[in-house]
Amino acid sequence: MATPPVVPASPGVVGVFDTLDALLLALRELKAKGFTGLTVHSPVPHHDIEDILDEPVSPVRLFTLIGALSGTAFGFYYAIGTSLDWELIVGGKPIVSLPAYVVIGFETTILIGALATVAGMFLNARLPKLRKAAGYDPRFSADKFGIVVMGGPAQVAAAADILRAAGAAEVNDV
């Protein structure tokens, strides 16, 4: 089959796959060839993809931890501080009634923890993205998979071949 001339101008290439297995094949190949800066689009996350890419664990969990801890601190700080601010005895109970404040501490833990987590996700995933992503195809949110490879002309060309070889339905420049 005749290979169409590669346009050196293009910064990258995207391969569109109908099946997961084809995608995985291409992905393995690319990794093997030491390609970096790969972006895999798939309608749903899939552990096979993760296995091949094997990236470090997301740091979101740290946000969760710190958020939660400061939540706890804030809860108790607020409850204790305000009670001591104006001592009012109710029901013959001590001014600082810790057992009661546990509830406050707990709720603020969850609240701030959750918000921090979400913030963490947005920061790490670089969301929101405003500009169009290179090589993204609407079908990736339906039932097609895609690999975007960025790089110099040589790499791009090589990647394109690999993608085709792996059985990409389409291989387009981006």
Residues 23-42 close enough to bind other proteins by CB under 8 A: 38-42
Residue from 76, 149, 156, 162 touching other proteins (CB under 8 A): that is: 76
Angle 139-29-24 (CA atoms, 0-180°, nearest 5)?
40
Residue from 80, 151, 172, 174 touching other proteins (CB under 8 A): that is: 80
The window from 5-13, 28-36, 140-148, 154-162 that contacts other proteins (CB under 8 A) reads 140-148
Residue from 19, 32, 36, 153 touching other proteins (CB under 8 A): that is: 19
The window from 2-10, 14-22, 28-36, 156-164 that contacts other proteins (CB under 8 A) reads 14-22
Residue from 8, 43, 152, 153 touching other proteins (CB under 8 A): that is: 43
Q: Is 93 exposed, middle or buried (0-12, 13-18, 19+ CB in 10 A)?
A: exposed
Shortest Cβ distance from residue 7 to other proteins (Å)? 24
In Å, how far are 59, 64, 70, 123 from 111, measured between CA atoms?
A: 19, 10, 10, 18
Q: Which is nearer to other proteins, 5 or 126 (CB)?
A: 126
Which residues 6+ apart lie within 8 Å of 40 measured at CB? 23, 27, 49, 53, 145, 146, 147, 148
Give residue for tokens 């833990």: 109
DSSP label at 138? Answer: G
Shortest Cβ distance from residue 15 to other proteins (Å)? 14
Residue from 32, 100, 154, 165 touching other proteins (CB under 8 A): that is: 100
Residue from 106, 152, 153, 154 touching other proteins (CB under 8 A): that is: 106
Is the torsion defined by CA of 6, 7, 11, 15 positive or negative? negative
Residue 93 is a binding residue for other proteins (CB under 8 A): yes
